[in-house]
C-alpha cells in the first residue's frame, strides 16, 4: 500500500511538473510572437507596449513557478527529509515573494497609477 502511494505521489508530481513546463513554454512562445510582431505592426514599438508583453510573460512565469512549487510539495509529501523541507521552504519563500512583489510593482506601473522609480544618472565627466 505504501509503495503504491509513493508511486502515485511521484506520478502526480511528474504531471504537475509537466503542466508547469507547458505553462512556461506557452508563455515564452506567446511573448516571442508578440515581441516579434510588434515592430511590424506598429513601426517603432513604444515602451509601454514592450512592457505589457514582458509583464504578461512574467505572469506566465509566476504561474509556472507556482505549479513547480506544487510539484515539489507533492514530491516531499511522502517521507520527507528535513533538508528537503528546509530547501522547499527557502525556495517557496524567496521565489514567491520576490516575483509576486515585482509583478505587482510592474503591473501598477503599467496601468499608469504610479510611475516606476527614476534612477539618477551620473553626470558626465567634465
pTM of the predicted model as reported, rounded to 2 decimal places? 0.66
Higher per-residue pLDDT: 8 or 117: 8
pLDDT band at 51 (very low <50, low <70, confident <90, very high): confident
Give me the pLDDT at residue 90, please.
77
Q: Taking 60 as the threshold, does the pLDDT of residue 124 lie above it?
A: no
pLDDT band at 79 (very low <50, low <70, confident <90, very high): low
pLDDT band at 78 (very low <50, low <70, confident <90, very high): confident
Higher per-residue pLDDT: 102 or 23: 23
C-beta pairs of 74-80 under 8 Å, 24+ apart in sequence: 74/9, 74/12, 74/13, 74/16, 75/9, 75/10, 75/13, 77/9, 78/5, 78/6, 78/9, 79/6
| pLDDT, tens digit (0-9, with 9 covering 90-100), for 80-110 | 677 777 777 777 777 767 666 666 666 666 5
Higher per-residue pLDDT: 116 or 60: 60
Give me the pLDDT at residue 11, please.
93
Amino acid at each position: 500500500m505504501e509503495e503504491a502511494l509513493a508511486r502515485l505521489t511521484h506520478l502526480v508530481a511528474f504531471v504537475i511538473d509537466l503542466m508547469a513546463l507547458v505553462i512556461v513554454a506557452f508563455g515564452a512562445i506567446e511573448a516571442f510572437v508578440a515581441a516579434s510582431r510588434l515592430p511590424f505592426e506598429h513601426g517603432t514599438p513604444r515602451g509601454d507596449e514592450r512592457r505589457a508583453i514582458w509583464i504578461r510573460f512574467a505572469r506566465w512565469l509566476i504561474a509556472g513557478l507556482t505549479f513547480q512549487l506544487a510539484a515539489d510539495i507533492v514530491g516531499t509529501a511522502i517521507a520527507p527529509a528535513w533538508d528537503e523541507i528546509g530547501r522547499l521552504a527557502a525556495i517557496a519563500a524567496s521565489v514567491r515573494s520576490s516575483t509576486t512583489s515585482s509583478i505587482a510593482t510592474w503591473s501598477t506601473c503599467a496601468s499608469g497609477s504610479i510611475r516606476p522609480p527614476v534612477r539618477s544618472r551620473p553626470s558626465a565627466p567634465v
